[in-house]
């Protein structure tokens, strides 16, 4: 596995995050944001192929080697947006680009819509909009979330007797991945415990959202994008064949490029990473 990165810890005003740094210090600034329950290793194949850019691949809060949020706090999608902005502030980046996969792509769109003056370019991989919910379903969703929070203390993370068992479990998880991709994610995402290994991720990440943006809210963020935006859609990904997404993208400023592969096409194998890199190399360096 490639070690072509520098490991750093970023002490923000409210939390400490871990990250991998790729590329020259004077390269074009890019923050890379992984998907739900993944970590910075999501970009282990792709980042070294994006020459000329300075990539900060974060472990988002509660993931990988980053801190968990304090007791009583939650993992609302807009809290990640705040974290990302604080990271940019720490690096002194007034303007920067975002490279986001899945949930990381969603966070990227929200930040670019909220503060368009800060974002130069958006490079998105199989992700655009958050899951949405309409007003009539909000009371039920909040009730379900509250009950899940109350029950969390009685639940225990799975323990895998062998590293390979954890890798196999990740291969079958949400957004199924190749064995090699699962190994990348597991190397960073596992920690030893009595009896074997378990995931470092905060258990609260699996709780249902107490409140979701409506579709109108989510679409408003997409419509407000003003920077060049390129989306790589995976032919066998999680967004394939979604009629509503197709309708949204047709009326948006987002340039769509469809490529063969699954939801983690940028990590599953080297050919997939090359395909995604070819979509973003010149794009991220353009004036």
Question: Could you list the active site residues?
Answer: 102
Distance (Å, whole) CA 180 – CA 171: 9
Backbone angles phi, psi at 209, to 5 degrees: -70, 130
What share of residues in the chain are helix, strand, coil (percent, to 5)? 40, 20, 35
Distance (Å, whole) CA 50 – CA 23: 8
What burial letters (b/e) apply to 241-268, b meaning 16+ CB within 10 Å?
eeeebeebbeebebebeebebbbbbbbb
Which residue matches tokens 């190749």? 178
Closest by Cα among 65, 57, 103, 62 to 81: 103
CB atoms closer than 10 angstroms to residue 119? 24
Closest by Cα among 213, 203, 219 to 148: 203
Stretch (H or E) spanning 22: strand 16-22
Name the DSSP class of 169.
Answer: H
Residue 272 contacts residue 236 (beta carbons within 8 Å): no
Distance (Å, whole) CA 29 – CA 282: 14
């Amino acid at each position: 596995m490639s070690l072509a990165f520098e490991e750093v810890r970023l002490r923000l005003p409210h939390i400490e995050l871990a990250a991998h740094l790729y590329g020259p210090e004077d390269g074009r600034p890019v923050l890379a944001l992984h998907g739900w329950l993944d970590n910075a290793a999501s970009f282990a194949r792709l980042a070294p192929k994006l020459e000329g850019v300075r990539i900060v691949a974060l472990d988002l809060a509660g993931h990988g080697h980053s801190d968990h949020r304090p007791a009583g706090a939650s993992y609302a999608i807009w809290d990640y947006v705040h974290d990302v902005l604080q990271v940019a502030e720490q690096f002194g980046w007034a303007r920067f680009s975002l490279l986001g996969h899945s949930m990381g792509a969603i966070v990227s769109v929200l930040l670019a819509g909220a503060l368009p003056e800060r974002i130069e370019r958006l490079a998105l991989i199989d992700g655009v909009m958050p899951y949405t919910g309409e007003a009539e379903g909000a009371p039920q969703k909040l009730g379900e979330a509250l009950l899940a929070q109350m029950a969390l203390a009685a639940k225990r993370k799975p323990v895998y007797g062998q590293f390979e068992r954890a890798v196999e479990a990740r291969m079958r998880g949400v957004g199924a991945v190749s064995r090699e991709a699962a190994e990348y994610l597991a190397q960073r995402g596992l920690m030893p415990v009595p009896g074997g290994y378990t995931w470092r991720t905060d258990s609260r990440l699996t709780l249902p959202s107490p409140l979701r943006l409506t579709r109108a809210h989510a679409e408003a963020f997409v419509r407000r994008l003003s920077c060049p935006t390129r989306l790589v859609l995976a032919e066998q990904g999680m967004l394939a064949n979604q009629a509503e997404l197709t309708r949204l993208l047709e009326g948006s400023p987002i340039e769509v490029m469809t490529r063969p592969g699954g939801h983690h096409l940028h990590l599953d194998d080297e050919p997939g990473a090359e395909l995604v890199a070819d979509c973003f190399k010149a794009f991220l360096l353009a004036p």
